[in-house]
Amino acid sequence: MAGLIERSLTGIFRSRWGVAIVLLAVVLAVVGIGRLFSDGDNPSASLSGGSPAPAISADPAEDDSVVSTEPPPTPRTSPGRAQPEQVAYAFASAWVDHESVGAKKWRDRLLPNSTKDLSNQLRGVDPAGVPAERVIGRPSLVAVNETMVNATVTMDSGKLSLRLVAPEGYWLVDGIDWEPA
């Protein structure tokens, strides 16, 4: 009996038609088992490449407070103090004035317009690493709230981004970032 089975299988696998029939039987078995264990969803829907209609999860008429209809906040400055634009320009001008000056003198020029945290971060910074030579434009401001403003100052080789804070109406630079052109 074993010899008969062996001769039959050898005969089937020697023929192209026999191999094709065996492969077809394996594919049909896999598909049949897959359908047997599927959850009953329409399999052609996932194979068609089309997506089902979107599910609406929120009422479009509801206010989700992502976009505010209120006017942007106005930065608050104490009387007699410099406006955020003036502070940003003064800081940027001192920041690029790094030629032929030592680290201490360069940092001392930045101190009047920077917070203590930023001045501590700038301690030991070599001004020769400043990647700009001159200020090109006026600072553009974006008010975050009454006591925080983001300023962007265009330089000859990129943009200097400054974060200004004024917890008591006195504007100071609290953070800097550089974006090369």
Tell me the CATH number at 150. 3.10.450.540
Q: How far is CA 84 from CA 25, 116, 140, 147, in A?
A: 77, 17, 10, 10
More confident site: 146 or 13: 146
pLDDT digits (tens, 9 = 90+) for 30-88: 998 988 887 666 555 555 555 666 666 666 666 666 666 677 788 888 899 999 999 99
Over residues 108-162, the pLDDT tens digits come to 999 999 999 999 999 989 999 999 999 998 999 999 999 999 999 999 999 999 9
Judge if pTM exceeds 0.75: no
My answer on whether 30 and 96 are in the same domain is no
Residue at 176 is within a domain: yes
Higher-confidence residue of 99 and 41: namely 99
| Tokens matching residue 174 | 């609290």
Contacts of 35 (CB under 8 A, 6+ apart): 43
> Around Cβ 69, how many Cβ atoms within 10 Å?
6
**Chain position carrying tokens 């550089």:** 178
Predicted pLDDT at 7: 81
For residues 25 and 97, membership in a common domain is answered with no
Give the per-residue pLDDT at 42.
Answer: 59
Are 173 and 164 within 8 A, CB to CB? Answer: yes
As a whole number of angstroms, the distance between CA 4 and CA 73 comes to 91
Residue 167 has what pLDDT?
A: 85
pLDDT of 181 reads 85
- The pLDDT of residue 12: 78
Domain limits at 149? 84-180
Domain-located, residue 152? yes
Q: Examine residue 162 and state whether it is found in any structural domain, yes or no.
A: yes
175 and 118 in a common domain = yes
The total domain count for the chain is 2
The answer to whether residues 172 and 108 belong to one domain is: yes
Residue 114 lies in a domain: yes
155 part of a folded domain: yes
Does 57 map to a domain? no
Structure confidence at residue 105 as a pLDDT band (50, 70, 90): very high
Is residue 67 situated within a structural domain? no
Residue 154's pLDDT is 95
